[in-house]
Amino acid sequence: MNKWLKSPELRISEGKEEERHATWLELFFDLFFVVVISELAHNLNRDVSLSGFLGFLLLFVPIWWSWIGATFYANLFDTDDLGHRLLTALQMLAVAALAVNVHDGLGKSSVGFALSYAVVRVLLVLEFLRAGKHIVTARPLTTRIASGSGLGALVWLASAFVPMPLRFGFWILALTVEFGIVLTAGKSVHMELAPHASHLPERFGLFTLIVLGETVLAVVNGVAQQQWNFSLAYTAVFGLSIAFSLWWLYFDNLGGSAIQAARACRHIRAYQTWVYMHLPLVIGIAATGVGVEHALTSDTDMVLPSAERWLICASLGLCFFTLGIIYLTGVSTDTRLRCKVRAGYRFVAAAVILILAVAGAGLSAMELIGLIAVVGAVQIILELRQVTSFYK
């Protein structure tokens, strides 16, 4: 029984910096977010207007924040004991409840969504308080996160008892409190408890794969609803190539240099930027998939409606822009110049795609998706050229 009743321990302390990978429990936990992200994408699919996108954002942020909380706890303290497994199982149930309620999360299911999210935060509070009880050096951080999550949970709970749209103001207030308490933690806290440099990038990469998978599913769904013809096949192939380009550009530059710098007591802001820029990145990827699905379900030879054009271009432009910011967090001496050059490429790509949004009013779905796919392909070519020149 002692094998299962372990106290949390600091997984990032000296002597524990060996290569770490996601546990089977973490991977199982991620499956619940596959379902939630899919439901969120269906929400945006029903309404691709600006208001629909803003509603998509309001629901996406707390879901991503739920995943972040569990991921950082596992990165710092996961000992895979019975207590952690049971608390994680309860979090899975709460995330499943989020998936049930997110379908109409801004309407009749908003109370259920708020209560489900409050339960997620309370369970996270219990996890961090448990860790702080056993690990004195971690107590400043665990107390801070527990207090922020607990206060946020209270605001979410209170939101269930106020009418709409004031309820959504409570949600924004709660998220602001939770984000703010973590972001304003003192430098000494980050220096003492900077995350594991191999485990955390892998976890973020896995979440990015979840969202990319939703983009692939969106293309498949779009094709499945149509009769096959040349323009549909062309658009589908280039829609998939967009997802492939994003995979290439992200995972060929997925590293822990920003985290390593934080562990060396330098560049704390670079590490924080690396973490939080993943939020707009995955939002952009998910929304791009929805836009491509809409393009495929329209007549691909006809002019694409402006709402769909702006959704695709703005979302993909956001992806390239945030990729550029993420590259700039590569602070190690031997890669800094390369990262700056690559960031410049991504910023130019974002600008080109936004130009297509403005000037492409007469483009069909086939033409727009094709042009965007070319932008992605050029980015890969530039990447390959830079790598080749670096190793000469």
pLDDT in tens, 247-266: 999 998 776 666 665 555 55
Q: How confident is the model at residue 101 (pLDDT cuts 50, 70, 90)?
A: very high
* Nearest Cα to Cα of residue 188 among 138, 127, 256, 260: 138
pLDDT band, residue 144 (cuts 50/70/90) = confident
Percent of the chain at pLDDT above 90?
A: 55
pLDDT of 332 > 90? The answer is no
Which residues sit opposite 364 in a β-bridge? 303
Give the C-alpha separation, 61 to 188, whole Å. Answer: 27
- Provide the 3-class DSSP secondary structure of residue 202: helix
- Residue 50 has which token pair? 């600006």
Look up residue 291 and give its two tokens: 């836009």
Amino acid at 99: A
Residue holding tokens 């896995």? Answer: 206
Across the chain, mean pLDDT equals 86
Stretch 336-353: mean pLDDT: 88
Residues 116 and 98 sit within 8 Å (Cβ to Cβ): yes
Of 229, 185, 214, 293, nearest to 36 by C-alpha is 214
Topology, domain 199-390 = I/LWEQ domain (1.20.1410)
The answer to whether residue 292 scores a pLDDT higher than 90 is yes
Q: What is the pLDDT of residues 214-259, one digit of tens each?
A: 999 999 988 888 888 888 888 899 999 999 999 999 998 776 666 6
User: Which residue blocks in 78-109 are alpha helix, DSSP H?
Assistant: 82-102
Q: What are phi and psi of 364, to 5 degrees?
A: -80, 170
User: 110-119, 176-185, 335-344: lowest mean pLDDT where?
Assistant: 335-344
Domain with CATH 1.20.1410 in the chain: 199-390
pLDDT, tens only, 9-47: 776 654 455 677 888 999 999 999 999 999 999 999 999
Note the pLDDT of residue 184.
77
At residue 335, the pLDDT reads 62
Closest CA to 94 of 142, 49, 149: 149
Q: What is the pLDDT of residue 60?
A: 96
What is the C-alpha separation between 141 and 188, in angstroms, rounded?
10
pLDDT on residue 392: 52
Residue 247's alpha-carbon distances to 157, 314, 330, 348, 371, in angstroms, are: 38, 18, 18, 18, 18
How far is 350 from 344, CA to CA, in rounded Å? 10
8 Å CB contact between 121 and 156: yes
Q: In DSSP terms, which residues pair with 363 in a beta bridge? A: none
Distance CA 70, CA 277 (A): 18
